[in-house]
Amino acid sequence: MTVPHQRLNERNIATSAPTTRGNDARFRTQVRRFLDQALTEDLRAAGRATIGTHSEIGACRIWHRRLYEQGWIAPAWPKEHGGTGWSASERLIFDQECAANDAPMLFAGGLRNVGPLLIALGSEAQRKRYLPPILSGEEFWCQGYSEAGAGSDLASLRTRARTEAYRDGDAYVVNGTKIWTTGAQHAEKMFALVRTSAGGKPQHGITFLLIDMRSAGITVRPVQTLYGEAEFNEVHFEDVRVPVADRVGAEDDGWSVAKQLMVYARASNTTCALLRRTLRRLEAALEAADAATRASVRDDLTDIELRLNVIERLEYDAARREGSDAGAHASVMKLRATELHQRMTELLLEVAGPAACRQWLDHADLAEPGGAFASAKYFATRAATIYSGSSEVHRNILARQLIG
Ligand SMILES: Cc1cc2nc3c(=O)[nH]c(=O)nc-3n(C[C@H](O)[C@H](O)[C@H](O)COP(=O)(O)OP(=O)(O)OC[C@H]3O[C@@H](n4cnc5c(N)ncnc54)[C@H](O)[C@@H]3O)c2cc1C
């Protein structure tokens, strides 16, 4: 079967200027050459087998390091902080080629979320301490926002912190429990929201901290997901000391810091690169399907490709605006991308047929064509309209912007 979306997409990305198109074509060739030699078969298999928001963690670390050594680990960052200096269309081309060549999906909380946040709002000392190990992959970051009873209603969080004298300066002493913390079992660091004072509006009195996951008093308990992996965790804090120097923004004003970070997170958690990977698997499943099945989904596939191009355009616009994006744009992208992703996985499961569930229960290889991937991906993608703000919450945000 041909891959029409890919050709469509290659035509569509860039600006209309012929010289820019020529540069883009050269850039694409350069990226392909690099991926050809840098991606081993093991890394490609890990990329194909990706079910959740990142690939198997060992493959993530190896791939992160290779991109770092190439100088390509943080295309979205300003050049002076370690970015590549690529144009928006080059960044998109890079993502497309990584997806088309089954590169592993990075564990990217540092690169996509806390890194850009520290560049925007961190102190000079924080940038100096934290940006280099994010780039090199020595420190992976997880997000400690949600708690039992504080998900959509995040401002009701109860993990608390008080200050006391500690070593050569003051420290926050943190007690409480976070939940649904993706990758906490792999992360060296966590950015977290804690309550430092009560009374008044619930959004007031929250503070944004950078916490070392290797600190005494932290216990991580994996939580098994619907699709069988322990992607997220419960994290307990018992008298955990966090130097006051590791606070971002002012004490009690972490809400505004957290909101800024969520704009980065929401615009980047279901990217077109992720959608294109799923589409590739759908196309592979269709190749193995009978003619009647292929005919029955042709219209759906065209519709999916068109919608994907629209989302890619939104992503391109966001990249051109260099992250100074309004929350509404991030909400539109998150809604459209996650809902399309779910639709793709529904179609994938339909094409894979009833055998898919059996193959998954039999632990068939997720990197191989076949139904196991379809089943696992279908279940994993149910979560996409919940994390980083549920679809209902994003519709509320948009409604407030529209209606006031
Ligand atoms: C796979 C996965 C990974 C995650 N990773 C992380 C992580 O790394 N770090 C982290 O901090 N959190 C993480 N989360 C948590 C996630 O952010 C929360 O699950 C999410 O905010 C929803 O909160 P909740 O689960 O408490 O559901 P609730 O807030 O209790 O919502 C339950 C239902 O009510 C609806 N609802 C709630 N309020 C409203 C409203 N005002 N209007 C309309 N409908 C409403 C919701 O849409 C939802 O359908 C993850 C979640 C998942 C599923």
pLDDT at 390: 95
83: number of CA atoms within 13 Å, CB side? 18
Percent of the residues in the chain that have a pLDDT greater than 90, as a whole number: 73
Q: Which of 152, 182, 398 is the pocket-test mutation for ligand 1 (most atoms within 8 Å of CB)?
A: 152
CA of 403 to the centre of ligand 1 (A): 24
User: Which range (5-9, 72-76, 132-136, 281-285) has the least confidence?
Assistant: 5-9
- Which of 114, 146, 206 should be mutated for ligand 1, with most atoms under 8 A from CB? 146
Q: Is residue 133 part of a domain?
A: no
Over range 320-336, report the average pLDDT.
Answer: 77
User: Measuring from atom 27 of ligand 1, which residue has the nearest CA?
Assistant: 151
The span from the CA of 159 to the CA of 273, in Å, is: 35
Of 260, 278, 305, the one marking the end of a domain is: 260
The pTM score is 0.92
Q: pLDDT class for 322, splitting at 50, 70, 90?
A: low
Reply yes or no on whether the pLDDT at 4 is more than 50: no
List pLDDT tens digits, range 145-185.
999 999 999 999 999 999 988 777 799 999 999 999 999 99
Residue 249, phi-psi category: left (phi > 0), alpha (psi -120 to 50), beta (remainder): left
Give the confidence band of 330 by pLDDT, cuts at 50, 70, 90: confident
Q: What is the pLDDT of residue 374?
A: 94
On whether residue 248 sits in a domain, the answer given is: yes
Per-residue pLDDT at 315: 87
Q: What is the mean pLDDT of residues 368-394?
A: 92
- Domain region containing 18: 4-103+269-403
Per the prediction, the chain carries an average pLDDT of 90
Q: Are residues 341 and 388 in the same domain?
A: yes
Give me the pLDDT at residue 355, please: 87
Phi and psi at residue 248, in whole multiples of 5°?
-105, 130
Q: Which of 260, 280, 299 is the last residue of a domain?
A: 260
Contact 357, 371 (CB under 8 A): yes
Cβ-based neighbours of 404, under 8 Å, separated by 6 or more: none
C-alpha to C-alpha distance for 93 and 273, rounded to whole angstroms: 10
Question: Does the pLDDT at position 17 exceed 60?
Answer: no
- Contact indicator for 226, 379 with CB cutoff of 8 Å: yes
Q: What is the pLDDT of residue 325?
A: 53
Give me the mean pLDDT over the 190-218 stretch: 96
- The Cα-based distances of 244 to 4, 114, 125, 126, 203 in angstroms read 54, 17, 13, 12, 20
By DSSP bridging, strand 141-144 and strand 160-166 are unpaired
Alpha-carbon dihedral angle through residues 87, 90, 314, 19, given to the nearest 10 degrees: 80
CA of 91 to the centre of ligand 1 (A): 30
Give the count of beta carbons closer than 10 Å to the beta carbon of residue 316.
19
Q: What is the mean pLDDT of residues 200-205?
A: 94
Query: What is the DSSP-derived secondary structure letter of residue 150?
Result: B
Q: What is the pLDDT of residues 256-273, one digit of tens each?
A: 999 999 888 776 777 888
Query: What are the structure tokens assigned to 367, written together?
Result: 């990197």
Q: Which helix (H) or strand (E) holds 223?
A: strand 218-223
The last residue of one of the domains, among 260, 288, 322, is: 260
User: Do 174 and 295 share a domain, yes or no?
Assistant: no
Whether 224 and 289 share a structural domain: no
For the CA of 53, the nearest atom of ligand 1? 1
Residue 109 is assigned to a structural domain of this protein: no
Measured distance CA(291)–CA(270) in Å, rounded: 31
